[in-house]
Amino acid sequence: MTARRSRSRSAAYAALALGLAGSLALTGCKSHSSKKSKKSSSSSSKSKKRRIIGGGAAAAGAGAGAASRRVPDCYPSTYKVTFSQQTGPKSHVAVKFRNSTSRDCKLYNAPLLRFNNAKSPLPLLQGTPGHLDGTRITVPAHGYAYAVIPTNTAATKGTEQKSVTIDFMGISASSVTHGPVTVNFPEKRLHISVGKSKVTNWSSSIHGAQLAGGVGN
């Protein structure tokens, strides 16, 4: 009887030991899995933060790029604005602006031209100083823009001028972006005759300016 009890106790102790070993193993697995989950969660959170920070930096960079791409206003000078007289039935004076810089610039409406120190600029053919049509063109780097003064009648041709003072209009009727500069025609050996005429708005091509002035083909 004593031997049987001893064997029963030994078997019970063995079963208990196995059960404890299994429980400890299971606990260890759960702890290991929990640590992996925490590490994965932390890694995912860091990745999201990096993406957010990276996205913010990209947006800031895009904003800086847009600011650097803003197109400035064009400005006149005695070598950037030139004049030439065309004769014949469709006689006119061509005004040519050259963008000598390495970046684009903007022109608004029409050039303001005062011949022989006149108090008022030449009237606008398209609109009036108080009612502009909002012309705005971008002149590419080293590109050109044109305006035309029709002189195809005796009244519009008038007499030969000695000089012209040039301002560049702004976006509104009362604003001026840059100027004035004065071109002396005798110094440049130019013969420019302008009478009671008007000037067209700026155009990207001489042909477009001529059509607007009614002297194109």
Instruction: Write the pLDDT tens digit of every residue in 37-83.
Output: 444 455 555 555 455 445 554 444 444 444 446 899 998 888 899 99
One-letter amino acid identity for 25?
Answer: A
Report whether 186 contacts 162 (CB < 8 A): yes
Neighbouring C-beta atoms of residue 86, cutoff 10 Å: 15
pTM over 0.75: no
Please report which helix (H) or strand (E) contains residue 105, including its range: strand 105-108
Q: Quick one: which of 140, 143, 134 has its CA closest to 109?
A: 134
pLDDT of 173 strictly over 50: yes
Digit-coded pLDDT (tens) for 109-137: 999 999 998 999 999 988 655 556 678 99
Tokens of 204: 């990207």
Neighbouring C-beta atoms of residue 145, cutoff 10 Å: 27
Neighbouring C-beta atoms of residue 106, cutoff 10 Å: 19
What is the model's pLDDT at position 63?
47
What is the model's pLDDT at position 18?
41
The residue to which tokens 């996205």 are assigned: 55
Tokens of 157: 């041709």
Tokens of 182: 């004065």
Digit-coded pLDDT (tens) for 176-196: 667 689 999 999 999 999 999
Report whether 105 contacts 84 (CB < 8 A): no
